[in-house]
Chain A
Amino acid sequence: MSRIYELMAAELSDKVRSQEVSAEEHLHSILERIDRVDEKIHAYVTIAREEAIARAREIDKKARRGEKLGLLAGVVVAVKDNICTKGIRTTCSSRMLENFVPPYDATVIERLKTSDAIIIGKTNMDEFAMGSTTETSYFGATRNPWNLDKVPGGSSGGSAAAVIAEEATAALGSDTGGSIRCPASYCSDVGLKPTYGLVSRYGLISYANSLEQIGPITRTVRDCALLLSVISGHDSRDSTSVKIPREDYLKYLISDVKGLRIGLPREFFGEGVEEDAKEPVLEAVGKLEEFGASCCEISIPAMKYALPAYYIIAMSEASSNLARYDGLRYGYRDENDEGNFDEVFSRNRRIGFGAEVRRRIILGTYALSAGYFEQYYLKALKIRTLIRRDFERAFKDVDIIIGPTMPLLPFNIGERIDDPLKLYMCDILTVPANLTGYPALSVPSGFRKSLPVGMQIIGKPFDEGTLLRVAYTFEQNTGYHKYRPPL
Chain B
Amino acid sequence: MKGMEGDVKIGLEVHVQMTSLKTKLFCGCSSDYRGKEPNTLVCPVCLGLPGSLPVLNKKAVEYAVMAALALNCEISDRMLFFRKNYFYPDLPKNFQITQYDRAGGVPLARNGYLYLDFEGRRRKIRISRIHLEEDPGRLVHLGSIDRSPYTLVDYNRSGVALLEIVTKPDIRSPREARIFLQKLRSILEHLGIFDGGLEGAMRCDANISIAGGTRVEVKNISSFKEVERALSFEITRQRGLLEKGIMVKRETRHWDEARRVTVSLRTKETEQDYRYFPELDLVPVELKEEFIEKVKAEMPELPDKRVERFISQYGLPRYDASVLVSSKALADFFEEAVRLYNKPKEISNWMMSDLLRYLYENNLELHESKITPAKLVEMIKLIDEGVISGKIAKRILPKIIVTGKSPSEIVREEGMVKISDLEFLENLITRIFAENPKAVNDALINEKAAHYLVGQLMKATEGKADPVLSSQLIMKRLEKLRRERGIK
Contacts and interface: CB of A to CB of B under 8 A. Distances in A.
B51 A204 contact: yes
A201 interface: yes
Interface string A192-224: 000000000111111001100000000000000
B250 interface: no
B87 A342 contact: yes
Nearest to B55: A239
Contacts of B56: 239
Interface of B: 44, 47-56, 83, 85, 87-89, 92-95, 103-104, 153, 271, 273, 275, 277, 280-283
A317 B48 contact: no
Given A209-B280, A326-B87, A368 B275 contact: yes
A340 to B, nearest CB: 10
Given A84-B51, A239-B55, A239-B282, A370 B273 contact: yes
B53 A237 contact: yes
B280 A373 contact: no
Interface stretch (A9-17, A33-41, A102-110, A473-481): A102-110
A103 B49 contact: yes
A205 B51 contact: yes
Given A106-B51, A368-B277, 15 more contacts: A104-B44, A205-B50, A236-B55, A237-B53, A239-B283, A240-B283, A320-B85, A320-B95, A320-B275, A324-B50, A325-B50, A329-B47, A345-B87, A368-B275, A369-B275
22 contacts: A83-B51, A100-B50, A202-B51, A202-B52, A203-B51, A206-B51, A240-B283, A316-B277, A317-B280, A320-B275, A323-B85, A323-B87, A324-B48, A324-B50, A326-B87, A328-B89, A329-B47, A329-B48, A329-B92, A341-B89, A369-B275, A370-B273
Most buried by A among B51, B92, B94: B51
Interface in A92-107: 92, 97, 100, 102-104, 106
Q: Dominant SS at the A interface?
A: loop
Contacts of B277: 316, 320, 368, 373, 377
Interface of A: 82-84, 90, 92, 97, 100, 102-104, 106, 201-206, 209-210, 236-240, 316-317, 319-320, 323-326, 328-330, 341-342, 345, 365, 368-370, 373, 377-378
Contacts of A316: 277
Contacts of A368: 85, 275, 277
A341 B282 contact: no
Contacts of B92: 324, 329
Contacts of A202: 51-53
Nearest to A374: B103
B280 A210 contact: yes
A238 B53 contact: yes
Nearest to B278: A210
Q: Dominant SS at the B interface?
A: loop
Contacts of A365: 275
Contact of B281 (A83, A240, A345): A240
A345 B89 CA distance: 9
A239 B282 CA distance: 6
Contacts of B281: 206, 209, 238-240
A106 B53 CA distance: 11
A240 B95 CA distance: 19
Contacts of B87: 323, 326, 341-342, 345
A387 B94 CA distance: 32
Contacts of A237: 53, 55
Contacts of A102: 44, 49-51
Most buried by A among B49, B88, B283: B49
A385 to B, nearest CB: 13
A167 B49 CA distance: 30
A106 B51 CA distance: 8
Contacts of B51: 82-84, 90, 102, 106, 202-206
Contacts of B280: 209-210, 240, 317
A369 B283 contact: no
Given A103-B49, A368-B85, A377-B277, A323 B283 contact: no
A63 to B, nearest CB: 32
A240 B281 CA distance: 6
Contacts of B55: 236-239
Contacts of B95: 320, 323
A326 B53 contact: no
B94 A324 contact: yes
A299 to B, nearest CB: 29
B165 to A, nearest CB: 25
Most buried by B among A100, A324, A325, A368: A324
B343 to A, nearest CB: 55
A145 B336 CA distance: 80
B83 to A, nearest CB: 5
Nearest to A325: B50
A202 B45 CA distance: 10
Nearest to A235: B53
A323 B104 CA distance: 23
B42 to A, nearest CB: 10
A370 B94 CA distance: 18
A210 B281 CA distance: 7
Contacts of A205: 50-51
B341 to A, nearest CB: 52
A103 B44 contact: yes
Contacts of B103: 373, 378
Contacts of A373: 103, 275, 277
Contacts of B94: 323-324, 326
Nearest to B87: A345
Contacts of B83: 320
Contacts of A341: 87-89
Contacts of B48: 324, 329
A323 B48 CA distance: 10
Contacts of A97: 50
A345 B44 CA distance: 21
Contacts of A90: 50-51
Most buried by A among B87, B273, B283: B87
Nearest to B48: A324
B52 to A, nearest CB: 7
A190 to B, nearest CB: 25
Nearest to B151: A341
Nearest to B86: A323
Contact of A201 (B47, B53, B89): B53
Contacts of B88: 341
Contacts of A324: 48, 50, 92-94
Q: Can you list the 6 inter-chain pairs with the closest CB atoms, starting with the nearest?
A: A323-B94, A368-B275, A210-B280, A205-B50, A203-B51, A84-B51
A239 B275 contact: no
Contacts of A323: 85, 87, 93-95
A258 to B, nearest CB: 39
Contacts of B104: 378
Contacts of A317: 280
Contacts of A378: 103-104
Nearest to B39: A329
A357 B329 CA distance: 55
Contacts of B89: 326, 328, 341
A304 B52 CA distance: 34
A316 B47 CA distance: 22
A308 to B, nearest CB: 18
Contacts of A204: 51
Nearest to A83: B51
Contacts of B54: 239
A236 B54 CA distance: 10
